[in-house]
Amino acid sequence: MEKVDSTRKKNEKVAIFASFLQRLSERELPLVCYYATGQPFSETSGKKVQFGWSSFTNVVHQLTNRTNADLRGFYRENADFGSLIEFALVKRKPQPKALETYFGQADKTELTIEGINEYLTNIASYKGKGSLKAKKNQLLQLLRHSSPLEAKYIARIITSDTRTGFRGGLLLDAIASAFGRKNKTVRYAYMVLSDVGEVALVAKDHKIDLLAIKPRIFQPLRSMLATKAESIEDALNTYKNLICEPKIDGFRAQFHIGRKECRLYSRNLEDVTHAFPEILTSLPERLRKELAPSILDGEVVALVDGRPVFFQDLLTRIQRKRDIQISVESTPCYYYVFDILFHHDKSLLNSPLKARKALLQTLIPDLPHIIKMEYYVLEKDVDIQTQLQKAIQNGSEGLMLKDPTSNYQAGKRGKGWLKLKVTLPTLDLAIVGAEWGHGRRTGWLSNYHLAAKDRQEFEVIGKTFKGLTDTEFGQLTEQLQELEIAKEPYGISVQPKIVVEVEFDNIQESSKYPSGMALRFARIKRIRNDKNVDEVDTIETVRKLYQEQLQRQKRADKT
Ligand code: AMP
């Protein structure tokens, strides 16, 4: 990775890594692919290492005899965990004699890829009481076997830091180059399998036709995403005719129907079956057996008096893991099916949407908690505005406009689907700092520093304490403290991990922030636990919105 990082040229990065991948055994290959993207395990495995700043630095302190203040200082200079650890190990102070005896001499046998995996698997396996101590101990042992340079990358993997300069796309190209495959076919395999390690293994096996790989039951695919339609005219000009559905504000979920059981997966590939028992039990056994194996795509929505309730309630259910029955009674959830991706061993990804919709109509009857999403096929001259108003009146966010001829592009924000909303645009931003509240908000971290992404960095473009409930302030305070990097005069700076969707009145020019822009009257619409920091909007998007706003103002001034 150090060699990959040493060049900025994409082709060189790919070539260096491809030749490394060729030398690996079948056991090492998938592991290296996860590590290269800054992940300890496959995203579909559901396994997590979970280390907060304080536990991690505690271990580094034990290893290096450096104080917390030293470590925070190093972090400020290096701005990532990996470099912090490398630096701290290089600058370690001798341990007191007693501690050296307690830890014993570090075993200097070479650290292998499989050896690292063993440690990480152990760390992820500890649960419940006493688990933190056991985890810290394993991490300590792992780092004691590592050189400072190895420790740098291990730390990045454990904290899922994506700064390795080798994100998914480039890695897929390296896999293609290593095993003489076309980039396009490797990307296709990744869309279907969602597991970069497995993709490397199948790419290596020349008996396998990558384009013939089918979705697999209980292995979630990445969801197809929609592009923002700038206007109704934009949507009409894009397609000849279109399938129009309400865009309901819920939680994206893939429904996998097996012969013996069903599972629901989030957009982040997380298994969320436990959270929605009313949806699972709504599918009668006989029908389940008839449908199996099938994969459906849809949106989970909580309805009260027939109207969708705030999306945050759904996320609370997923996190809570207990007392779900109470929520089932107060805010029952429904699965609105809008697509089918796999049925009876046949991949439907390359079938046109029109055909997938037709199949859905024949297969799925309306059930108490599973409902087929209503849709209309609109011709060019039909009034989308009327449909839009109707959807809004029924509590939807807007419309989804889909090309009937489009195939299912897993993981892509293609032109096949457009989303049309009437509300002002929102931005997904990362929280990078927080201030302690005053008055009613005393005791909470309640004024959040919101940042957009500028390449690998995060740039603050606004602050807000508006939009959250007291419970959410409480939850965020706990989460943010776990992510604390340093105490600041205003409060704390934190690792960018929490994503929030932010509404605002407009964007202003401002000398306060390096981007030269600031959000006016920002407020948090919701916490996006379903998104990760890779999905945060970029400074470029903010700039584009600003330009659009200027155009609108100019037009308004003229009229
Ligand atoms: P956004 O999160 O704003 O990018 O919008 C895309 C999301 O809208 C999808 O991931 C779904 O969760 C949601 N959605 C709501 N209704 C639909 C629909 N009819 N078709 C597809 N996605 C929908």
Q: What is the CATH number of the domain that holds 83?
A: 1.10.3260.10
Q: Which amino acid is at 229?
A: A
Tokens describing residue 280: 């699972």
The closest of 193, 156, 189 to 37, measured between CA atoms, is 156
Ligand 1 binding pocket includes 245 (Cβ within 6 Å): yes
**Residue 283 resides in a domain:** yes
pLDDT of 97: 55
The three-point CA angle 293-297-303 to 5° equals 120
305 and 383 both lie in a single domain: yes
Residue 531 annotated as catalytic: no
- Spatial contact of 78 and 87, defined as CB atoms under 8 Å apart: yes
Q: Which amino acid is at 283?
A: L
377 and 480 both lie in a single domain: no
Rounded Cα distance, 496 and 510, in Å: 23
Residues with Cβ within 8 Å of residue 509, at least 6 apart in sequence:
516, 517, 518
The CATH number assigned to the domain holding 241 equals 3.30.470.30
493 and 520 both lie in a single domain: yes
Residue 89 Cα to chain centre, angstroms: 32
416 and 438 both lie in a single domain: no
401 and 265 both lie in a single domain: yes
List phi, psi (to 5°) of 335. -105, 115
Ligand 1 binding pocket includes 222 (Cβ within 6 Å): no
The sheet carrying 225-228 orders its strands as: 225-228, 413-421, 398-402, 242-247, 376-378
- Spatial contact of 398 and 230, defined as CB atoms under 8 Å apart: no
348 C-alpha vs ligand 1 centroid, how far in Å? 20
Strands 333-343 and 370-372 turn out to be parallel
Residue closest by Cα to atom 12 of ligand 1? 252
364 and 242 both lie in a single domain: yes
CA distances from 549 to 46, 202, 256, 478, 536 (A): 42, 48, 43, 37, 21
Which stretches does DSSP call E strand in 422-456? 427-436, 445-454
Query: What SS3 state is found at 73?
Result: helix
Residue finishing a domain among 104, 132, 158:
158
Ligand 1 binding pocket includes 421 (Cβ within 6 Å): no
384 and 441 both lie in a single domain: no
- For the CA atoms of 172, 175, 179, 185, the dihedral, rounded to the nearest 10 degrees, stands at -10
Domain count, the chain: 3
The H helix count followed by the E strand count for the chain is 22, 21
CA distances from 363 to 357, 360, 516 (A): 10, 5, 54
**Residue 452 resides in a domain:** yes
- Spatial contact of 426 and 240, defined as CB atoms under 8 Å apart: no
pLDDT of 559: 42
Query: What SS3 state is found at 161?
Result: coil
Tokens describing residue 337: 């099916």
**Residue 198 resides in a domain:** no
Q: Which amino acid is at 392?
A: I
309 and 410 both lie in a single domain: yes
520 and 417 both lie in a single domain: no
Mutation choice for ligand 1 from 419, 427, 428, 536, CB with most ligand atoms inside 8 A: 419
247 C-alpha vs ligand 1 centroid, how far in Å? 6
**Residue 373 resides in a domain:** yes
Mutation choice for ligand 1 from 244, 247, 268, CB with most ligand atoms inside 8 A: 247
Neighbours of 111 (CB within 10 A): 18
The CATH number assigned to the domain holding 505 equals 2.40.50.140
pLDDT of 381: 55
336 and 237 both lie in a single domain: yes
The three-point CA angle 245-370-339 to 5° equals 45
Rounded Cα distance, 447 and 451, in Å: 13
Burial of 127 (0-12, 13-18, 19+ CB in 10 A): exposed
67-83 core/surface letters (b: 16 or more CB in 10 A; e: else):
eeebbbebbeebebbbb
- Spatial contact of 376 and 242, defined as CB atoms under 8 Å apart: no
Mutation choice for ligand 1 from 222, 251, 299, 336, CB with most ligand atoms inside 8 A: 299
Residue finishing a domain among 393, 421, 449:
421
Ligand 1 binding pocket includes 337 (Cβ within 6 Å): no
Per the structure, the complete domain to which residue 520 belongs is given by 427-550
**Residue 30 resides in a domain:** no
191 C-alpha vs ligand 1 centroid, how far in Å? 18
319-340 core/surface letters (b: 16 or more CB in 10 A; e: else):
eeeeebeebbeebbbbbbbbbb
Query: What SS3 state is found at 110?
Result: coil
**Residue 253 resides in a domain:** yes
Which stretches does DSSP call E strand in 164-261? 225-228, 242-247, 251-257
Residue finishing a domain among 131, 158, 185:
158
Looking up tokens 């602050």, which residue turns up? 463
Mutation choice for ligand 1 from 221, 248, 252, CB with most ligand atoms inside 8 A: 252
**Residue 85 resides in a domain:** yes
**Residue 444 resides in a domain:** yes
Ligand 1 binding pocket includes 248 (Cβ within 6 Å): yes
Burial of 357 (0-12, 13-18, 19+ CB in 10 A): buried
418 C-alpha vs ligand 1 centroid, how far in Å? 10
Rounded Cα distance, 547 and 545, in Å: 5
- Spatial contact of 310 and 526, defined as CB atoms under 8 Å apart: yes
Instruction: Given the residues 247, 372, 463, 525, select the one marked as catalytic.
Output: 247
pLDDT of 386: 77
Residues of the chain with pLDDT under 70: 76-79, 95-109, 162-168, 310-313, 321, 380-382, 422-424, 552-559
Rounded Cα distance, 24 and 31, in Å: 10
Ligand 1 binding pocket includes 338 (Cβ within 6 Å): yes
377 C-alpha vs ligand 1 centroid, how far in Å? 18
The three-point CA angle 362-297-283 to 5° equals 60
User: What pTM did the predictor assign?
Assistant: 0.73
275 and 293 both lie in a single domain: yes
Residue closest by Cα to atom 17 of ligand 1? 247
List phi, psi (to 5°) of 427. -120, 140
517 and 475 both lie in a single domain: yes
Ligand 1 binding pocket includes 542 (Cβ within 6 Å): no
Neighbours of 184 (CB within 10 A): 12
446 C-alpha vs ligand 1 centroid, how far in Å? 29
Residue closest by Cα to atom 18 of ligand 1? 247
- Spatial contact of 203 and 175, defined as CB atoms under 8 Å apart: yes
pLDDT of 144: 85
- Write out pLDDT tens, residues 183-212: 999 999 998 999 999 999 999 999 999 999
Rounded Cα distance, 138 and 77, in Å: 27
252 C-alpha vs ligand 1 centroid, how far in Å? 7
pLDDT of 183: 95
Element (H, E) at 57: helix 53-64
The DSSP annotation for 257-279 comes to: E-SS-EEEEETTS-B-GGG-HHH
The three-point CA angle 426-432-435 to 5° equals 100
530 C-alpha vs ligand 1 centroid, how far in Å? 13
pLDDT of 296: 98
pLDDT of 20: 93
Neighbours of 55 (CB within 10 A): 15
